[in-house]
Amino acid sequence: MTAVPSVSYSITVRLDVPAGGASVSQLTTAVEQAGGAVTALDVTASGQERLRIDVTCAARDTDHAERLVEAMRGVPGVVIGKVSDRTFLMHLGGKIEMASKHPIRNRDDLSMIYTPGVARVSLAIAKNPEDARRLTSKRNSIAVVTDGSAVLGLGNLGAEAALPVMEGKAALFKRFGDIDAWPLCLDTQDVDEIVTVVHAIAPGFAGINLEDISAPRCFEVERRLRQLLDIPVFHDDQHGTAIVVLAALYNALRVVEKQISDVRIVMSGAGAAGTAVIKLLLAAGVRNIVVGDIAGVVYRGRDDLVGELEWLAENTNQLGFTGSIKEAVVGADVFIGLSVPGVLSGSDVAAMADRSIVFALANPVPEVDPAEASRYAAVVATGRSDFPNQINNVLAFPGVFRGLLDARCAHVTSTMLLAAASALAGVVTDDELNAAYIVPSVFHAELHHTVAAAVREAAGGPTELLTDTEVAI
């Protein structure tokens, strides 16, 4: 699969060119001939002899960005100045900050926000700890917790390297759910220590979002924290993925006019995300599903079954299929990949059932080339933003947590996850639905409100929420 220029590898090059002539058009041509895409061109200074221009262009990767700079350098009369990576510029100093909700303008403000006035509030909470939810930031705050062991698709990068990702997650929570999320990157990958730390900091939060913790460690961490805490614990890599995959499947099945209880599904990937997806698919009514991992198809009697793999063997592959993934997809209605590149070829997709569905979600390189899969499958989705039908967790987690916090939930249930998936799918109307549009844009005006309302209703929470001014002291 040939990569295309992406804003993720966007650079801005400041350069001087001769005034007049064809230098500007030559720059654009040079970038395009080198495989880049010019997205902006700004004249920042002008003189009789020379122009200073900022050229912004998208590249495929960092090496390609350097080649684009060299292509511009080759234009006659061009002098290259500063080259800026726009993604790194956006991360300088971090992407989030803390801000006060009330101005501190004088001594009266200081006395109420801090001592001595704050002592009255502390005493009230000591008398009734539940008041912390309405008299502190706890009511709208969650912790985004990672041990850095499974950062994006990059692997075990550690706590510091995970921080930019957790900051981004916090920014998304605020933008789409109006939730204050705090990145907590733990310098330990010991299950006992993770559980102890999160348990200790939990009083300051109304929810815990586990993020980028590798399997099988993540299963144990989540299980134990759910037993210990009276606030919701949500592992986005598992449950966020499951919600969006199920929502996309609901709508893909609408496109191909098949029922979820009738289709045969093959999944590649039995890690945290794959296991959670399977559990939610089964809860949604799927009856025929086969899953494979690096050791092959999971079936009863395989000699390496422990933990979640043992559960998968007991609850999937009811016919006891023992072949390869390539053999399993023959005649299958749906393929879902949450694994590695190159699992299938176009000919494998061609061997699937008529009007098949392919979700190839490995990132950045999917399990099968989406363009090749589209030749044979009726609906194709990926985890990438440069193809239609991006399966992205940001479609789910802001609305899900908004609903959990509004309902003051103590736990996350399958009923809530199913409600979120149905609500997400329903945002795409019958008039909008087609093979290239099975999930809405993350910027859809009603998306996150709709998901939040569904979760709140499933949790039995209030249908109308109190405002700050309506909460009695």
Catalytic residues: 114, 169
Q: C-alpha angle with apex 399: 397 to 400, nearest 5 degrees?
A: 60
Query: Which residues neighbour 143 within 8 Å (Cβ) at sequence distance 6 or greater?
Result: 181, 182, 184, 198, 201, 202, 204, 205, 207, 208, 209
Nearest to 422 by CA among 257, 242, 234, 176: 242
Residues 341 and 366: their CA atoms lie apart, in Å, by: 5
C-alpha–C-alpha distance, residues 393 and 248, integer Å = 12
Instruction: To the nearest 10°, report the CA torsion of 311, 313, 314, 320.
Output: 170
Which helix or strand (DSSP H or E) is residue 135 part of? helix 132-135
Alpha helices in 344-472 (DSSP H): 346-350, 370-373, 397-406, 414-426, 447-458
Please, are residues 427 and 421 in contact by the beta-carbon 8 Å criterion? no
Alpha helices in 351-393 (DSSP H): 370-373
**Residue 388: is the preceding peptide bond cis (ω within 30°)?**
no
Beta bridge partners of 290: 266
Strand order across the beta sheet in which 6-18 lies: 37-46, 50-59, 6-18, 79-85
